[in-house]
């Protein structure tokens, strides 16, 4: 049982940093806001209850960030595994970008 606990702890340590993912999300949200409105949206300010939905900033709670980190980890792991399978079938010892290009369409459909 200790091995299972150790494996789950090491797996949790190998995920993305939620602060990094939050920073990426904020950047994307800010760019979308600027693109759609031509203005700058402040992401960190909590909206007042009377603020309309259109004027509110976009936020993410800790649970959503944690799940997003895990989803990204699984997605990238699966992409590497599928690319490695294609590379091995071709007799290559290194995963090339073409291997990833071959698996991405199906991988995106699977997720």
Task: Report residue 51 CA to chain centroid gap.
Answer: 29
Boundaries of domain holding 57: 2-110
pLDDT at 79 over 50: yes
> What integer pLDDT is reported at residue 9 of this predicted model?
46
Cα torsion angle, 42, 45, 51, 57, sign: positive
Are 95 and 84 a contacting pair, CB within 8 Å?
yes
Q: What is the CATH number of the domain that holds 49?
A: 1.10.20
Q: In the structure, what pLDDT confidence band is assigned to residue 97 with cuts at 50, 70 and 90?
A: very high
Q: What is the mean pLDDT of residues 106-110?
A: 91
Q: In the structure, what pLDDT confidence band is assigned to residue 53 with cuts at 50, 70 and 90?
A: low
Q: How many domains does one find in the chain?
A: 1
CA distance 41 to 58: 9
pLDDT at 31 over 80: yes
Model pTM score: 0.64
Cα torsion angle, 28, 29, 30, 36, sign: positive
Q: 39-51: per-residue pLDDT in tens?
A: 544 555 555 555 5
């Amino acid at each position: 049982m200790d091995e299972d606990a150790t494996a789950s702890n090491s797996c949790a340590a190998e995920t993305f940093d939620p602060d990094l993912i939050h920073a990426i999300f904020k950047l994307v949200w800010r760019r979308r806001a600027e693109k759609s409105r031509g203005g700058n949206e402040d992401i960190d300010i909590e909206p007042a209850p009377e603020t309309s939905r259109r004027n509110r900033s976009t936020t993410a709670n800790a649970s959503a960030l944690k799940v997003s980190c895990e989803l990204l980890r699984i997605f990238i792991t699966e992409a590497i595994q599928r690319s490695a399978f294609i590379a091995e079938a071709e007799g290559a010892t290194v995963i090339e970008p073409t291997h990833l290009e071959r698996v991405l369409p199906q991988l995106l459909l699977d997720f």
